[in-house]
Chains A and B, each alone.
Chain A
Amino acid sequence: MTTVAEQRPAAGFSTSARIRGWLRNPWGKPRFLVLITWAYILWSIVPVLIAVQFSFNATRSRTVWDSFSTRWYWGDPVDSVWHDPTLRHALVQTFKLAGADVLIAVPIGVLLALGLARWHGRGSGASNFIMLFPLVTPEIVMGVSLLLVFSELFTFIHTGTFAQILGHITFSISFVVVIVRGRLFSIGRQYEEAAADLGASPFVALTRVLLPLLTPAIVAAAAVVFAISADDFVISQWLSSGGGTDTVPIRIYSATRAAPLPSVNAIATIMMVTTLLIVTLGFLTWRAFTRGESKAGTAAEDFGTAFRL
């Protein structure tokens, strides 16, 4: 920071000198960068806030604001989220898929991360390669693959809820591995070795030492898996067997192409609030567990970059 002070022109200089000072000083704050950044943030968030606002509109319009009402959540006896069976069912289906995904993908992913981080023998390279592939495969390729394998080879599995759950787990496992492995690297091996020196068997060292240390990563991974499952459109759509298995993203997608009511905004808002709450809880847990391990601010970055990286 001393450099900044040295390079900054002394107080009392004219405005033009100060502007020249900004330009000359690489650590100054170029005003156009400030402008672009805040404009970007507004652009990325305000439209969503407007969509939330219209979920509370008293009329059927999603473009002309009338007055505040909870009609589209539960007030309307026919078209509200609470009373419209297709919307309510979509909400249930989304939670069903996300819940099953978290319960199955997280344990499988944690074990895979532990295995891949410590296993260096024959086959470990190939396994690592297979694990990374789902992260870079476009979802449509995965959707086509799963649809064809269920219709041509595993014909005992029909499209529908079960196939959707299998698909969600398939794309979720790698995210769990990436998050947990990052944590494994930062823990290092010394705790396990200490446990071993004190006479713990590998299994005891794993369950009594390593797993508790991995808790923040496991909680974060569960939150991320919930979020990506609830957000998923492509896999759910390709493996859906019609109306009964539609999820919230599929409802939003088909509604935007028809003549939607603000109840679509309402169901989207419900999903958004739920996901943000779960992710915030995941983040707070992560920070509570890792407090004191790293410098302030990096927890947010670690948690943020753990997603889709």
Chain B
Amino acid sequence: MGTPTSWPEAAASPTVYRRWLWPSLSLPGVLWLIVLFVVPFYAVLAVSLGTVDPILFQPVPIWNPLEWNVGWLQEALQRLAPGGIWFDVGIRTIVYVVLSLALCLLIGYPVAYYTARHAGRWKGLILILIILPLWISYMMRMLAWVNLLQADGYINRFLMFTHVLSQPRDWLGGSSSTVIFALVYGYIPYLILPLFASLDRIERSHVEAARDLGASPWSAFRTVTLPLSKTGILGGAVLITLPMFGDYYTPNIVSMSPKTSMIGNQIDLYFHGGPQPTLGAALTIILAVFLTFLMAYYMWSIHRAQRDVGSVGAL
């Protein structure tokens, strides 16, 4: 991508860009996002900090922040605290996401590294094959694995043929490993692409310089390539972590058991099955706040990584 050109504000041609033109072009989009993104989020706040009709059990939102009632939010936080009924779900969600992220990095980094640096004339083809799953519906890819993991599916038949298993295993009956596997399968393409982009940008001369100065391949990788790809690692990690924390359909498809329920499943349950949307809204707010902190940490890490890269460049 070309470098963004900057030029003196309005000095170049003051009469051409009238002040009103650009803000008014933005207006429809900005209005749309205020009405259908910002206001709806406020509605979740108003419901979670509102009350519940004692007879109909319907949520009664409170729109005025001065009258907010924190009772339901406190209730949701208590359920998430140790001893609460959501505590296990919260811990499980974090464990699933962290393990899936680790596996994605473990598989994705070598793939991105190979494609960026060693693929040679295969690079275009490999890149297309890596991008391809991004354009195949997530549900289609999950369906594919549900078929393979059936009791008489290819996976069980292969494992029995090779005598790894003596009888078919029930992969889809509430197994944590299946859920983590499905999460990795579903989200890994979104990690590989930013990783590839950051690795592909690294100048070969940097690594060559390290090697010329006597660094072993491993230490050249550790001290040059890895720090320079840190923004890609962080970017890819945040890109897949945020949606994974809100996922509920993946565990539902491959397990459908309360034993593998994640936070997203609880939110889904409280809106679609349960009687208390207010609690669901409170949980949604807690999730959003948690993810905002995660995002802030990511921005701060990116900032620090770029500063560190700056010092590598200065060396």
Known contacts: A112-B25, A305-B193. The answer to whether A48 contacts B144 by CB under 8 A is yes
Select the residue from A48, A193, A297 with max chain B CB neighbours within 10 A: A48
Determine the chain B residues whose CB is within 8 A of the CB of A142 once the complex forms. Answer: 37, 40
Residues on the A chain within 8 Å of B153, using CB: 63
Residue in B closest to A34 when the chains form the complex, CB atoms: B114
Assuming A108-B32, A152-B61, is B126 touching A268 (CB within 8 A)? no
CA of A291 to CA of B256 in the docked complex: distance in angstroms?
49
Question: A132 to nearest B CB, angstroms?
Answer: 10
Nearest residue (CB) in A for B24 is A115
A186 to B2, CA, bound (A): 5
Size band of the interface chain A makes with B: 35 or more
A149 touches B40 (CB 8 A): yes
Are A63 and B154 touching (Cβ within 8 A)? Answer: yes
B197 at the interface (CB under 8 A from A): yes
Known: A131-B29, A133-B37. A275 touches B135 (CB 8 A): yes
Q: Contacts A33-B118, A300-B124: A47 and B145 contacting too (C-beta < 8 A)?
A: yes
CB of B215, distance to nearest CB on chain A (Å)? 9
B124–A297 touching, CB < 8 Å: yes
Taking a contact as CB atoms under 8 Å apart, the answer to whether B5 and A257 are in contact is: no
Query: Is the CB–CB distance between B143 and A257 below 8 Å?
Result: no
Residues from chain B with a CB closer than 8 A to the CB of A138 are 242-243, 245-247, 264, 287, 291
Q: How does the 8 Å CB contact mask read for B191-224 relative to A, with 1 for contact and 0 for none?
A: 0011001001000100110010000010011000
Q: Does A23 contact B (CB under 8 A)?
A: yes
Taking the nearest CB of chain B, how far is it from the CB of A93, in angstroms? Answer: 14
Q: Nearest chain-A residue to B284 (Cβ)?
A: A144
Q: Is A66 an interface residue (CB 8 A)?
A: no
Complex Cα distance, B113 from A29, in Å, reads 11
CA distance A185 to B235 in the complex (A): 21
Contacting residue for A47 out of B12, B141, B194, CB 8 A: B141
**Cβ contacts A to B, 18 pairs, < 8 Å:** A30-B118, A41-B126, A114-B26, A115-B24, A115-B26, A119-B23, A136-B291, A138-B245, A140-B246, A141-B246, A141-B287, A148-B44, A177-B29, A196-B13, A227-B135, A265-B147, A275-B137, A297-B127
B interface residues (Cβ-Cβ under 8 A, vs A): 1-5, 7, 9, 12-13, 16-19, 21-30, 32-34, 36-41, 43-44, 46-47, 59, 61, 107, 110-111, 113-115, 117-120, 123-124, 126-148, 150, 152-154, 185, 188-190, 193-194, 197, 200, 204, 207-208, 211, 217, 220-221, 235, 238-239, 242-243, 245-249, 252-253, 256, 264, 267-268, 271, 277, 280-281, 284, 287-288, 291, 295
What are the 5 tightest A-B residue pairs by CB atom distance, in nearest-first order? Answer: A138-B246, A115-B26, A112-B29, A145-B40, A119-B22
